[in-house]
Amino acid sequence: GENVEQHPSTLSVQEGDSAVIKCTYSDSASNYFPWYKQELGKGPQLIIDIRSNVGEKKDQRIAVTLNKTAKHFSLHITETQPEDSAVYFCAASLNNFNKFYFGSGTKLNVKP
Amino acid sequence: GAGVSQSPRYKVAKRGQDVALRCDPISGHVSLFWYQQALGQGPEFLTYFQNEAQLDKSGLPSDRFFAERPEGSVSTLKIQRTQQEDSAVYLCASSFDVGMMGGYTFGSGTRLTVV
């Protein structure tokens, strides 16, 4: 099955700085890559996603890049704010979207 | 409802007890998923329903785990003879249809602690 690895496990940045989280996947058939934000005591919430026919996607301060050849994808958050502090998960899915393989998570701390 | 509702929010079970965890998906959502999230880890897939049909149960860790969705709406995840390794947050998610990219909505989960 698919194996998704995520780095770093913790990330601490100053407010206003950028944050980058990286993931790799093993199954070249994976073609959908969502990113989730999970706050304490809550379920994961989708923040951005990308399909394998696209190299980059941006939504305001958040962007995701995908390198299919190298089988890695990254989340970029610019102008970080304290409310961005949470655990972020990457995931990969095959064609049918009915099973996601998640990374182990990155705890982002944005210091005011 | 407005979101995916899970109950109870917290459950403490003695080892060997049976437990039942409930998920109320968003009204009209066809697909329903269960995931297990161990402390400090990402969610791991357990099982998937399309309406009342359980189409994939490949992630269920053992035959002690059983899930059902008899009328295609509310789902129950049952764990028999709980063990300490079953301690985790159990997340339910729903989506309007199969293949709805980005359409997953997760509930807040049930935290199960087996003592």
List the single residue in A36, A97, A104 with the smallest CB-CB distance to B100: A97
State the DSSP code for B26. Answer: P
Rounded CA-CA distance B77/B69 in Å is 9
B10-28: pLDDT as tens digits: 999 999 999 999 999 999 9
Flag whether residue B100 sits within 8 Å of chain A, measured between CB atoms.
Answer: yes
Q: Do B106 and A44 touch (CB under 8 A)?
A: yes
Confidence of residue B1 (pLDDT cuts 50, 70, 90): low
Query: Which is it for strands A86-93 and A106-111: parallel, antiparallel or unpaired?
Result: antiparallel
Share of chain A above pLDDT 70, in %: 97
What is the Cβ-side half-sphere exposure of residue B69, based on CA atoms within 13 angstroms? 26
Rounded CA-CA distance A34/A38 in Å is 13
Q: What angle do CA B69, B71, B74 make, to 5 degrees?
A: 55
Mean local confidence (pLDDT), B23-34: 94
Whether A92 contacts A5, CB under 8 Å = no
Q: Which residues of A touch B43 (CB under 8 A)?
A: 44, 89, 100, 102
A38-64: pLDDT as tens digits: 999 999 999 999 988 889 999 999 999
What are the residue ranges of helices labelled H in chain A?
none
Flag whether residue B49 sits within 8 Å of chain A, measured between CB atoms.
Answer: no
Asked whether residue B99 carries a pLDDT value surpassing 80, the answer given is: no
Asked whether residue B100 carries a pLDDT value surpassing 80, the answer given is: no
Q: Which residues lie below 8 Å from residue A65, measured CB to CB, with a gap of 6+?
A: A55, A56, A73, A74, A76
pLDDT at A1: 81
